Amino acid sequence: FKQYLKIIIQFCNAYIAFDINHRLTIIGCSNTETCFLYPDLTNESLIIPTVTKTNLFEQLFVIDRVVENNLKEFIENFSPSHTLSGSMITMALTQALCYINRLLRDTLPGEKNSFRILIIQTTTDTSKQYMNFMNAVF
């Protein structure tokens, strides 16, 4: 687990360090729920709204700490019951798309935006999710 967590955090840090205009949001998804792992919407003081060259390392440190703490809490609250039901990947994708839409609403005219969604799934797929997933994508 720690090896995968380290790789995910390194990927997130590289994404932020590549361009200071990049923003990062991580949504955790289990078989019963989804939640924002980063930014920590319950603790606004940890969110650095604008990354600059001077506070880049502070932002990377905050990402490391918040993602690790929230992911550990998310896993501790994970309920192993209903493991055959698959994941809530469609709900996580829909949350990500709604969050992107909210960010687009708050941008200034002419401001360049580029969004990407990365999904890391640890549960099995089920055919029951197919229609919901297609509805979310299209």
Residue 45 has pLDDT above 50, yes or no: no
CATH number, residue 96: 3.40.50.410
Per the structure, the complete domain to which residue 84 belongs is given by 2-137
Q: What backbone phi and psi angles, to 5 degrees, belong to 30? A: -120, -165
Query: How many folded domains does the chain comprise?
Result: 1
Question: What is the per-residue pLDDT across 54-108, written as a single tens digit (0 to 9) for each?
Answer: 666 777 777 888 888 888 888 777 766 655 566 678 888 888 888 888 888 888 7
**Helix and strand numbers, DSSP H then E, in the chain:** 4, 2
Query: What would the two tokens of residue 14 be?
Result: 């590289």
User: Between 36 and 85, where is the model more confident?
Assistant: 36
How high does pLDDT run on average in the chain? 76
Q: What is the pTM of this model?
A: 0.73
